[in-house]
Structure 1
């Protein structure tokens, strides 16, 4: 069966498995765009709940070609249409006070997401973009979310600045920060969430036992955890403990921090990030191949190349200023004739 015929068959089967009270929903085909990837979708539009459910037809078609039985999928159509996520979307869609308590941020790469970013409020940090999402459900199987769009923001009647601040503050409540050494992360995810607190082993002490003192910054669920680095004062607090540091974008779920005191060559770090991204990170989870830096003195997050260039410029300026010290300006001479 070709893809076009398959799509129509799925549409008919979905319609047949809809619950009686949802028989009048609208079914349509289209492209569903998510950050970092898109897929051909069957949309289930539910006007009375002001909600839209999308079914990934590309994924279903691959399952069909692999010989998988799709009958089990059709059996859960009523659950999808009547899910907690759909009800939650209906409940909070127009009430910002309710939306605010479900807001959180996510960080993604700008490259490849330009079309989406045109239609959603976001904050760009170098070649990364912070976007704003509403948590619809969180359980042992993961999270369900909806991204705030420009049109949704207009309906809610708040500014992007207000949205940004509320999302930053609420992210920490929904997805608390988790900071650990690379060894702690590998050893089963030991989670010293209070690593900044005096009751926990200090970060400095934990790093002493590390051959390469890499620090993992994420959230407690380890989903969309790279955004935790941008929580208020996180970079500043890390800087107080380890000084200036380099940031390796491991994935959308976590970032790796390396103190500048290690003195690892920048080019080597960039090559390492590119290699890991190309070999181990799914494209949907990839941030960028760039390496970033946080300057504790100037409180600046930037690409590491920019930091190096800025330091070089400052150094040259300092040398130029030092070179003029001790040189006395010539005294003015006056000649008079009577």
Structure 2
């Protein structure tokens, strides 16, 4: 862990809700995005129970002689290559165990019907694990804006997915009501990510967190300096 050159290829990012992890995040490398922490992890190897991964403590930045944003950006690219973005049909996902979603970033002619836009575009990663982070991958947010032909809302169903709704086709009040009902019944603290709705205006290329119908600017798309 003390040598960045040896460990860098094993670093990746995941999203953590701040509400339930505030104390542990104090000493962990992360970047705050609204009520979400984009958090640095290291793949510590595999066991019989699966892959072991650990949050990276902030003290390692000094040992590596690296700036936080530089490390996070490199880890974001790692995450993209390890777990590429996919769009999912949730009904098919439930019925087909071999279904790994649909490639969309560099697929000529790929399109999404208005019916699916109204129902919500399910964004995740290949394998449907740690998929909510895919919204922050390079060029993904912009590509989704092209599909939506404009602005859109983002609802984080849990740490494994983000659901994208066209601002032209969906009403914010309906999304708020649906989100409230969903979190009352469905999500454990372990999988919980955010009960807020995020907004992406295509022309500004930024995410905004909605708080009581107010739009609060929180970040640029890319993993550059915080604002």
Instruction: Give the corresponding residue for 2:219.
Output: none
Three-state SS of the structure 2 residue aligned to 1:284 is coil
**What is the rounded CA distance, in whole Å, between the counterparts of 2:48 and 2:117 in structure 1?**
34
Which residue among 4, 18, 28 is the counterpart of 1:110?
Answer: 18
In the superposition, the TM-score normalised over structure 1's length comes to 0.58
- Aligned pair 1:227/2:133, yes or no? yes
- Provide structure 2 residue ranges, at least 5 long, that are not aligned to the other structure: 217-227
**What is the rounded CA distance, in whole Å, between the counterparts of 1:149 and 1:211 in structure 2?**
40
Residue 236 of structure 1 and its aligned partner are, at CA, apart by 1.0
Residue 238 of structure 1 and its aligned partner are, at CA, apart by 0.7
Change in 2 beyond 3 A, CA 1:192/1:251: closer
Equivalent residues in 2 for 1:38-49, closer than 5 Å = none
Change in 2 beyond 3 A, CA 1:203/1:185: farther
- Aligned pair 1:194/2:103, yes or no? yes
**What is the rounded CA distance, in whole Å, between the counterparts of 1:143 and 1:215 in structure 2?**
29
The answer (yes or no) to whether the contact 2:118–2:170 under 8 Å persists in 1 is no
Structure 1 residues 129-154: Cα deviation after superposition (integer angstroms, max 9, x where no partner) = 10101112358954320111112222
Equivalent residues in 2 for 1:56-95, closer than 5 Å = 93-95=1-3
Instruction: Give the corresponding residue for 2:225.
Output: none
**What is the rounded CA distance, in whole Å, between the counterparts of 1:137 and 1:191 in structure 2?**
23
- Provide structure 1 residue ranges, at least 5 long, that are not aligned to the other structure: 1-92, 311-338
Residue 193 of structure 1 and its aligned partner are, at CA, apart by 3.9
**What is the rounded CA distance, in whole Å, between the counterparts of 1:178 and 1:210 in structure 2?**
15
Structure 1 residues 189-233: Cα deviation after superposition (integer angstroms, max 9, x where no partner) = 64344212335x6132xx345384311111112222111111112
Q: Which has the larger radius of gyration?
A: 1
In the superposition, the TM-score normalised over structure 2's length comes to 0.83
Structure 1 residues 11-36: Cα deviation after superposition (integer angstroms, max 9, x where no partner) = xxxxxxxxxxxxxxxxxxxxxxxxxx
Instruction: Give the corresponding residue for 1:31.
Output: none
- Aligned pair 1:171/2:93, yes or no? no
- Aligned pair 1:268/2:174, yes or no? yes
Instruction: Give the corresponding residue for 1:291.
Output: 197
Which residue among 143, 147, 166 is the counterpart of 1:259?
Answer: 166
Change in 2 beyond 3 A, CA 1:170/1:271: same
Aligned pairs, number? 214
Quick one: higher RCO (CA 8 Å, sep 6+), 1 or 2?
A: 2
Residue 119 of structure 1 and its aligned partner are, at CA, apart by 0.8
The answer (yes or no) to whether the contact 2:123–2:131 under 8 Å persists in 1 is yes
Which structure is higher in strand share? Answer: 2
The answer (yes or no) to whether the contact 1:293–1:307 under 8 Å persists in 2 is no
Change in 2 beyond 3 A, CA 1:177/1:137: farther
Equivalent residues in 2 for 1:209-228, closer than 5 Å = 210=116, 212-228=118-134
**What is the rounded CA distance, in whole Å, between the counterparts of 1:252 and 1:156 in structure 2?**
29
Three-state SS of the structure 1 residue aligned to 2:168 is helix
**What is the rounded CA distance, in whole Å, between the counterparts of 2:214 and 2:203 in structure 1?**
15
**What is the rounded CA distance, in whole Å, between the counterparts of 2:102 and 2:46 in structure 1?**
19
Three-state SS of the structure 1 residue aligned to 2:164 is strand
CA RMSD across the alignment = 2.5
Which residue among 183, 190, 210 is the counterpart of 1:277?
Answer: 183
**What is the rounded CA distance, in whole Å, between the counterparts of 1:158 and 1:147 in structure 2?**
17
Which residue among 245, 249, 271 is the counterpart of 2:152?
Answer: 245
Residue 300 of structure 1 and its aligned partner are, at CA, apart by 1.6
Which structure is higher in helix share? Answer: 1
**What is the rounded CA distance, in whole Å, between the counterparts of 2:58 and 2:117 in structure 1?**
47
